[in-house]
């Protein structure tokens, strides 16, 4: 997460992949820490507990970490996790509005994953973020720019989700894409190159951090992501719902 935020504080249009040595859960910027007691995470852990072996001295599960982007909790470890930063407005993201940014990002991801998730499209429809605020799992939430596939029985499966953070004239998009049976790690580069090609806006770099971003990520890891004060921070003013 620190490496993604370092891209936001940088100056490039750049796309990177996060590789997970051990599984982890991330929670949205405004989600309560207490949601980690939710059965969602316990279920995920129980489903995967047989898969995990300690990596060196590391716990087989990473401590949950708070993102700077919005939305719900995501289990990582078997997904393709992307971080994508650019100046906004720019040819990459011509419009500053969150819906336009998400639409642009989704439209670039879809052709890049079409081989692995045939028929993938955006969910479309109305925004109902407020009503879904209590839904813990990102993949159980419905947003018009979700990436979904429709199965033969008519069931809609969410295969990708997006969240964003806007800081000044920069934007960070984070995406989680489910792998399915075809999107193996050795195809990740193909997806990243597909996204860059679909953006069609010049040099979207596919690489990890430059020296400035590397230094910034170390600062952010120490000042933010490694601290309880960030990960367990208070939940501020919230919009009420009727429910």
Residues engaged in binding another protein (CB under 8 A): 28-30, 68-71, 96-99, 101-102, 127, 129-130, 133, 143, 162-169, 235-240
Calpha distance 24→5 (Å, rounded):
18
- Number of residues written out for the chain: 243
What is the C-alpha to C-alpha distance for residues 53 and 75, in angstroms, rounded to an integer?
A: 17
**162 or 195: whose CB is closer to another protein?**
162
Query: Which lies closer to another protein via its Cβ, residue 98 or residue 180?
Result: 98
CA triple 49-53-57, angle to 5 deg: 125
Nearer of residues 126 and 186 to another protein, judged by Cβ: 126
Instruction: Provide, rounded to whole angstroms, the least separation between the CB of residue 60 and another protein.
Output: 30
Q: What's the min distance (Å) between Cβ of 109 and another protein?
A: 15
155 vs 237, beta carbon nearer another protein? 237
Shortest distance, position 214 Cβ to another protein, whole Å: 23
Q: CB 213 → another protein: shortest distance, Å?
A: 19
Query: Minimum Å distance from CB 17 to another protein?
Result: 20
Task: Please say whether the beta carbons of 14 and 205 come within 8 A.
Answer: yes
Q: State which residue, 61 or 230, has the beta carbon closest to another protein.
A: 230
Q: Of 130, 110, 108, whose CA–CA distance to 119 is shortest?
A: 110
Q: Tokens for 99?
A: 């819906």
DSSP 8-state code for residue 139: G
With beta carbons less than 8 A apart as the criterion, state whether 150 and 156 touch: yes
For 30, the token pair is 């405004």
CA dist., res. 179 & res. 130, Å (int): 28
């Amino acid at each position: 997460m620190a490496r993604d935020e370092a891209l936001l504080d940088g100056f490039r249009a750049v796309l990177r992949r996060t590789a997970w040595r051990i599984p982890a859960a991330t929670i949205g910027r405004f989600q309560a820490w207490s949601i980690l007691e939710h059965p969602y995470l316990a279920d995920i852990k129980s489903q995967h507990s047989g898969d995990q072996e300690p990596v060196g001295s590391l716990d087989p599960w990473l401590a949950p970490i708070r993102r700077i982007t919005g939305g719900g909790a995501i289990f990582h470890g078997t997904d393709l996790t992307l971080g994508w930063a650019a100046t906004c407005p720019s040819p990459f993201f011509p419009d500053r509005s969150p819906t336009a940014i998400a639409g642009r990002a989704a439209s670039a991801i879809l052709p890049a994953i079409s081989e692995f998730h045939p028929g993938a499209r955006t969910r479309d429809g109305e925004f109902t973020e407020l009503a879904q605020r209590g839904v813990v799992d990102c993949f159980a939430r419905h947003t018009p720019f979700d990436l979904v596939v429709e199965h033969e029985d008519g069931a809609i499966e969410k295969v990708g989700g997006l969240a964003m953070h806007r800081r000044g004239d920069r934007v960070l998009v984070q995406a989680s894409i489910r792998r399915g049976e075809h999107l193996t790690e050795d195809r990740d580069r193909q997806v990243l190159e597909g996204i860059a090609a679909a953006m069609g806006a010049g040099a979207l770099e596919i690489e990890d951090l430059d020296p400035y971003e590397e230094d910034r990520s170390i600062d952010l890891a120490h000042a933010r992501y490694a601290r309880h004060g960030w990960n367990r921070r208070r939940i501020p003013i919230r919009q009420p719902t009727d429910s």
